[in-house]
């Protein structure tokens, strides 16, 4: 049977390349890997014609020659990072390689005869699908490899990363033991990622510290304590991924998708005397700025039903800010968050405790679905959030997520903006509420 061409996509460090290696081991076939990052010459794939000096076959044929078999498991790493050069388009050259209907007679310019690639099992890896040519994406079966929960990271560290680092440093379990609570502390305080790459670096630091003490014949704790972690790795660097209080009007927790997984972001808004101007800051892209404008216009047109005095819009300026201005933020995830922030500000009502939300809005008052739900939910769990507001159309995304991931979370599904406000805002006013 012709094997389907798989494309594993997901954030960095989740083990996509390792998965390709494991497929080769499981099938008992040779493993070949070619990194396509930055490749911009078509002849790297198709080979050079023999008329050129220094002509040689393309990477595909070279790798098969090196593997000495016609049916290896072939990992095409970083297929999303192919670039376009003056010497042709390598991603178009890959179309023939990755098409099960065509690759039984792949033409390499150097060989000058058709070569049968149909026995090869191709596994491509990518961090994002947006930069892959649509025709190329169409030929592959897309498998999403998502990030890990804290519990999964601790298990990966315990079963794989720690033994691997001990072996590489010439130590064994008699020289160093890191218990689960300490591994959890390393995960939560020193890494902020979907994968486990920086987690491995932090564990390597702990192992190196033990190896140094053994070499210098100095005393150290074989069983690592919390104090040892702070001594070796420094004080915890990443405590900002935590939910903040709801004592201030206009501060709402949103959920965002980033290249390295999910994240929570705070949207703040404030009023000042003025002529009704709207200012938006926080390094936001076009889509997020549009979301803020839509939210503002919706509130103005529905001021009576929301219990807001229309004169407020003419006498006060509104400023919306999304902290961490150095980080570029864009996407359709913050519409309902901005709306809730503004209504909370105008009515001076408190936002419900431990609540986060994600969804896009329309001028008619509808809530639209968004993507990256699993990553966002992992971010909410990391931040100890209890309730999540989502669009009704995202219900099917939740059904696909493992129960362990959604344990302890309550989901509210909404269709209209009025439902969002009913669920998100309490009747209670904030302390020292402004009189508008």
Q: Could you tell me which residues are beta bridge partners of residue 253?
A: 266, 356
Residue 31 has pLDDT above 60, yes or no: yes
Can you give the pLDDT at residue 212? 93
Assigned token pair, 109: 């310019």
- For the segment 381-392, the average pLDDT, to the nearest whole number, is 86
pLDDT of 326 strictly over 60:
no
Question: How far apart, in whole angstroms, are the C-alpha atoms of residue 175 and residue 209?
Answer: 11
pLDDT digits over 262-271, tens only?
778 888 899 8
Q: Is the pTM of this model over 0.85?
A: no
pLDDT of amino acid 241: 52
Does the structure show a pLDDT above 90 at 131? Answer: no
Mean pLDDT of 49-53: 87
CATH C-level class of 251-429: alpha beta
Over residues 148-176, mean pLDDT:
90
Bridge partners (DSSP) of residue 357 are: 254, 389
Report whether pLDDT(324) > 80.
no
Higher-pLDDT residue of 330 and 232 is: 232
Q: What is the CATH number of domain 150-233?
A: 1.10.8.60
- pLDDT tens-digit readout, 393-417: 988 888 888 887 788 889 999 999 8
* pLDDT exceeds cutoff 90 at 152: no
Q: How far apart are CA 337 and CA 390, in angstroms?
A: 11
- For the range 286-292, what are the long-range contacts, defined as Cβ-Cβ under 8 Å and sequence gap of 24 or more? 286/330, 287/330, 287/331, 287/332, 288/322, 288/329, 288/330, 288/331, 288/334, 291/332, 291/334, 291/335, 291/338, 291/360, 291/361, 292/320, 292/338
Percent of the chain with pLDDT over 70: 95
Average pLDDT score, the chain: 86
Report, as an integer, the average pLDDT of 119-142. Answer: 89
CA distances (Å), 348 to each of 137, 297, 351, 379, 431, in order? 49, 19, 9, 28, 9
Most confident of 97-106, 241-250, 288-297, 330-339: 288-297
Lookup result for tokens 């064994």: 172
Which positions are annotated as active-site residues? 333, 376
Pairing of strands 73-77, 31-35: parallel
CA torsion, points 23, 126, 40, 53, in degrees to nearest 10? -10
Q: Is the pLDDT of residue 162 over 80?
A: yes
Q: What is the CATH number of domain 6-144?
A: 3.40.50.300
pLDDT over 70 at 419, yes or no: yes
Sequence-distant (≥ 6) Cβ neighbours of residue 211 within 8 angstroms: 169, 170, 171, 175
- Each domain of the chain, given as residue ranges in start order, spans 6-144, 150-233, 251-429
pLDDT in tens, 59-103: 889 999 999 998 899 999 988 888 776 777 788 888 888 887 888
């Amino acid at each position: 049977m012709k094997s389907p061409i798989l494309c594993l996509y997901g954030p960095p460090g989740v083990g996509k390349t390792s998965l390709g290696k494991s497929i080769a081991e499981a099938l008992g076939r040779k493993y070949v890997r070619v990194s396509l990052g930055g490749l911009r010459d078509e002849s790297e794939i198709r080979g050079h014609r023999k008329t050129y000096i220094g002509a040689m076959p393309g990477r595909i044929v070279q790798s098969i020659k090196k593997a000495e078999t016609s049916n290896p498991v072939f990992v095409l790493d970083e297929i999303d990072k192919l670039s376009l050069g003056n010497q042709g388009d390598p991603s178009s050259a890959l179309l023939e390689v990755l098409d099960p209907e065509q690759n039984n007679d792949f033409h390499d310019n150097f060989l000058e005869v058709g070569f049968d690639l149909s026995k090869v099992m191709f596994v491509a890896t990518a961090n994002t699908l947006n930069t892959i040519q649509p025709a190329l994406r169409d030929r592959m079966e897309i498998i999403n490899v998502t990030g890990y929960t804290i519990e999964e990271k601790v298990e990966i560290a315990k079963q794989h990363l720690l033994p691997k680092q001990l072996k590489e440093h010439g130590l064994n379990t008699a020289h160093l033991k890191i218990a689960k609570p300490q591994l959890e502390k390393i995960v939560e305080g020193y890494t902020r990622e979907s994968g486990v790459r920086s987690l491995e670096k932090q564990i390597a630091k702990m192992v190196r510290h033990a190896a140094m003490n053994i070499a210098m014949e100095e005393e150290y704790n074989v069983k690592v304590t919390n104090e040892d972690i702070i001594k070796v790795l420094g004080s915890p660097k990443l405590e900002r991924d935590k939910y903040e209080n709801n004592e201030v009007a206009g501060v709402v927790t949103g959920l965002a998708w980033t290249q390295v997984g999910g994240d929570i972001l705070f949207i703040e808004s404030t009023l000042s005397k003025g002529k009704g101007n709207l200012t938006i800051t926080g390094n936001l892209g076009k889509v997020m700025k549009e979301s803020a404008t839509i939210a503002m216009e919706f509130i103005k047109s529905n001021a009576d039903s929301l219990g807001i005095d229309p004169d407020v819009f003419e006498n006060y300026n509104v400023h919306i800010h999304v902290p961490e201005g150095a980080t570029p933020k864009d996407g359709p995830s913050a519409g309902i968050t901005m709306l809730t922030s503004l209504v909370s500000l105008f009515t001076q009502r408190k936002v419900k405790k431990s609540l986060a939300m994600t969804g896009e809005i329309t001028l008619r008052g509808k809530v639209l679905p968004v993507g990256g739900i699993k990553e966002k939910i992992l971010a909410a769990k990391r931040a100890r959030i209890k309730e999540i507001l989502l669009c009704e159309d995202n219900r099917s995304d939740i059904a696909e997520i493992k129960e362990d991931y959604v344990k302890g979370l309550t989901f509210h599904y909404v269709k209209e903006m009025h439902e969002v406000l009913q669920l998100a805002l309490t009747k209670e006013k904030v302390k020292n509420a402004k009189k508008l």
